[in-house]
Amino acid sequence: MAWAWKTSAIENTRFEIKYTPYFSSIGPVSTACPTYDPRATRIWVKIECDYTRRILVKAITKRQSRLCGVKNQKDASILWADYEDLDFDRVLASGGKIKANSYLVRKGLARKAQLAYHLRKYMAKRPRSILHGAIPETLVIETWEAFEEGMSFGALGATFDGNLTATLSLRDRLDWCLRDARERIARSPGSTWILKPSVTNKGAEITVLKDYQSMRDIVRTWPDVREWVLQAYIVTPLLYRRRKFHLRCYVLAVGNLSVYVWRQILLLTSTVEYDSEDLCNQLAHVTNTARQVEDGEMCPAVEDCVFSLDDLVDDLRTKQHLSLEQAGGIVSDIRGGIENVTGELFKALHGERTVFAPVPQCFELLGLDFLVSMDHTSSNESGLPVLTPQVHLLEVNPGPDFKQTGPRLKSVIEGLVEATLDVAVLEDGEISKDLALVYQSLHPENGEVGMRLLEG
């Protein structure tokens, strides 16, 4: 499903090109014949998602004097494809002559357990980091030893070999693997927690719970999931139309390393009104759009769950009885908080090259999810309480699913893709006003341009 332009016969010094988008089923999206400039950058596109592919093709077509689509990956200097279709051997061996739209190593961002570990290490050395207020308390849970009969593990200070492991019940093995989480839950009776697989897709298996038994039952139900995170649940989030929401912020990481926040932030809601005490309806708590649309009975379309952060202004004015200036100030503070936390996040991960290795010849779009709570403890000069937003980073998503945005706010993704082409591909210096630079390495040239894949 690669997209390409095919060249025609050459006459003297004039070049023309007819192109046919290579799609498996939907056919060509245009019949235009753009002028071919031999100096144009050659780009190869292979995107499975029709929604994203059409947006990218449209953006490239608007830059047809500077970008030329090609059919073969080997003929391109820019590769824009799904992660598994990228030839990283070729990219990393090119000495920076070939760019790709993804970093090879970014599991420190993608895997919740890895992210929690490295952020905890970073924060331990920096007690004043803003991440302390932005990262929920997180415990990493591994269950390999519970489900692998032949594995040896230690319990109660002793080490057990595979023969004894086989004599222990699954329940006993799970209790051993979950002992830290069990002790933490016991120290805060009545508290609410959220359990997530370290690697999840579309919000699957995410559960809000209050007790250890519920956690163990869930882990036992999903034996193929061997790594989880248990996070303190924020029970008093800011609501939109009385529904819980999270914010999806798109981030562009370029080279080694400049990081931009796309300031057109999405607000993604639950389908039902929020009740912190009612855990029976998990859709009120887990706001992933795909899960809401697939599982919810009250959300027939994506548009019913997807809004803009700017839509929050009117809701704050109505529900909190705020002036337009006050409500706008809160939204501005939320956006500023997201930018600050995002910059600190990449500062924390930039040096962890075994789990996040940005290189000069790559760039990537990521989706960061944030929750917002309100702090009522501060007051103004008159002694009246002041609403202060606190943003909480929930997770980082490489390869975000843009189609969940839907048609109504499609322009958000269109603008993001166009800005990415201008900044990361064409590098022409035209930076959209909606791109905010939040982190930049002082030594971007120190990336491992010669990095290569190893056999085995």
**Per-residue model confidence as pLDDT tens digits over 193-249:** 999 999 986 667 899 999 999 999 999 988 888 899 999 999 999 999 999 999 999
pLDDT at 104: 97
Query: Is residue 322 reached through a cis peptide bond, with omega within 30 degrees of 0 on the bond before it?
Result: no
Cα–Cα distance list, 204 to 196, 359, 384, 451 (Å): 8, 32, 43, 35
pLDDT at 5: 38
Ranges in the chain, pLDDT < 70: 1-37, 149-167, 201-203, 291-302, 376-385, 429, 444-456
CB 115 within 8 A of CB 155: no
Q: What are phi and psi of 121, to 5 degrees?
A: -65, -40
Q: Find, among 61, 43, 18, 81, the residue nearest to 418 by Cα.
A: 61
Distance, in Å, from the CA atom of 250 to the CA atom of 367, rounded to the nearest integer, reads 5
Strand locations in 156-216 (E): 158-160, 193-197, 207-209
What is the pLDDT at residue 296? 54
- Fold of domain 237-446: D-amino Acid Aminotransferase; Chain A, domain 1 (3.30.470)
What is the structure's pLDDT at 282? 86
Residue 257 buriedness (CB in 10 A; 0-12 / 13-18 / 19+) = buried
Secondary structure (DSSP) of 213-233: HHHHHHHHH-TT--EEEEEE-
The CATH 3.30.1490.20 portion of the chain extends over 137-232
Residue 371 CA, distance from chain mean position? 13
Measured in degrees and rounded to the nearest 5, phi and psi for residue 332 equal -65, -40
Q: How far is residue 142's CA from residue 160's CA, in Å, rounded to a whole number?
A: 17
For the chain, where do the domains classified as CATH 3.30.470.20 start and end? 237-446
List b or e across 146-183, with b for residues whose CB sees 16 or more CB atoms inside 10 angstroms.
bbeeeeebebeeeebeeeebeebeeeebbbbbbeebbe
The angle, 0 to 180 degrees and rounded to 10, between the axes of the packed helices 170-177 and 179-187 is: 60
pLDDT of the residue at 423: 96
In this structure, are strands 239-240 and 153-155 parallel, antiparallel, or unpaired?
Answer: unpaired
126 three-state secondary structure: coil
Q: How does DSSP assign 357-390, residue by residue?
A: ---TTBEEEEEEEEEEEEE---B-TTS-B--EEE
Gap between the Cα atoms of 171 and 449, Å rounded: 49
Residue showing tokens 């193929």: 224
Res 442: pLDDT: 79
What architecture is the 137-232 domain classified under in CATH? 2-Layer Sandwich (3.30)
pTM of the full structure:
0.85
Q: What is the pLDDT of residue 113?
A: 96
For residue 248, give the 3-state DSSP assignment. strand
Other beta carbons within 10 angstroms of residue 268's beta carbon come to 21
pLDDT tens digits along 327-368: 999 999 999 999 999 999 999 999 999 999 999 999 999 999
